Amino acid sequence: MLLPNKVAIITGGAKGMGKATALKFAEEGCASVIADIDEVEGKKTASEVSKKGKECLFIKFDITDIPQIKSMVAQAIRKFGKVDILVNNAGGVPRPKGQAPPKEGDKPKKGIVYTDESYWDFMLTLNLKGHVFVCKEVVPYMIKQRYGKIISISSLGVISPPSAAIEYHSAKAGILGLTYNLAVELAPYNINVNAILPGPVRTAFYDPVLANVPDKDAFWNMMPRNVPLGRIGTPEDIANVVLFLASELSSFMTGEALNVGGGIPLPAHSAIP
C-alpha cells in the first residue's frame, strides 16, 4: 500500500475527481475526511469509502465561509488526531447568484467587458481564497508532525484557456502562486506542496457550461479532437496523479505544477499512418 495509516482531507470530495481520489486513497490504506457542500452525494461517497475498509468522515461545509473551514478542520482533528494529506479540490464555475439559467441556444456572455465585481469576488473566494484558509488551518498540524502532503487542483485553462473564463482562470492561476509560496515556506518541515492542472475531464463541473448547449452529445464527441491523446480524461486519471503526489513516490518533489490533460497544451493532430 502507498498510503498506510494516513489521513486525508479532500475538499470537494463528494463527486468527480474528489470522489475518485477518496476511493483511490482508501484502496491504498488512507482514511479520509470528505468535505463538501453536497450532503447527499458526500454521504454516499463516505459510505463507498467505508465499504473499502477505511474510515471516512463526511463533513458538510462551504469553502467560501471561513468559520465553516475552521470547524471542518477541527472536526477532522477530533476524529483522527492528525492530517497527513490535504487535497484542495473544491471549486467550480457556478452561475452568479440570482442569474436566471440561459435559454437553450443563447450565446453566453463571456469576457472582461462582462465581468461583474460581485461575481469576481465570489469566484476568487470559491476557487482560491477558501483554499488559502483551509491550508492555514491544516498546516500547523503538519508542521507539528513534520510531515505533510498538500495537493491543489488548478486548471490547464490557466496556461491554455479553451475559452474566456477570466474569473475562474485567474483564481486557478492563483492556486499556482499559493503552491509555489507554500512549497518554499514549508520545505523545512518536510511538507511537500504541489499542484495539478487537469485538462478536460467529464464531471459535473461542466453542467453550468452546458446549460445553454442544445446538443450536449455533440459537445462531448467534439472535445477529444482538441486533445493530443484523443480522449477526454476521467476522474480516475486525475486521482492517479493525486495519489502519486500524496505518496512517498514523489517525496523529492515540491513546488511542481503537473499538466494532466492528455497532452494539452501540445497541438492536437492526427496520427501519422
Q: Give catalytic residues, as residue numbers.
A: 168
What is the residue type of 193?
A: V
Q: How many CB atoms lie within 10 A of CB 37?
A: 17
Helix H or strand E encompassing 75: helix 66-80
Residue 218 Cα distances to 213, 221, 268, angstroms: 9, 5, 18
Q: Give the whole-angstrom CA distance, residue 252 versus residue 20.
A: 25
User: Grid cell 502532503 — which residue?
Assistant: 149
Reported as type and span, the H/E element at residue 257 is strand 257-260
The beta strand positions in 71-217, using DSSP E, are 85-88, 148-153, 191-198
What are φ and ψ of residue 99, in 5° steps?
-80, 130
Residues in contact with 97: Cβ distance below 8 Å, sequence separation at least 6, in sequence order: 118, 122
Q: Are the C-beta atoms of 189 and 148 separated by less than 8 Å?
A: yes
Q: Residue 150, SS3?
A: strand
Contacts of 224 (CB under 8 A, 6+ apart): 230, 231, 232
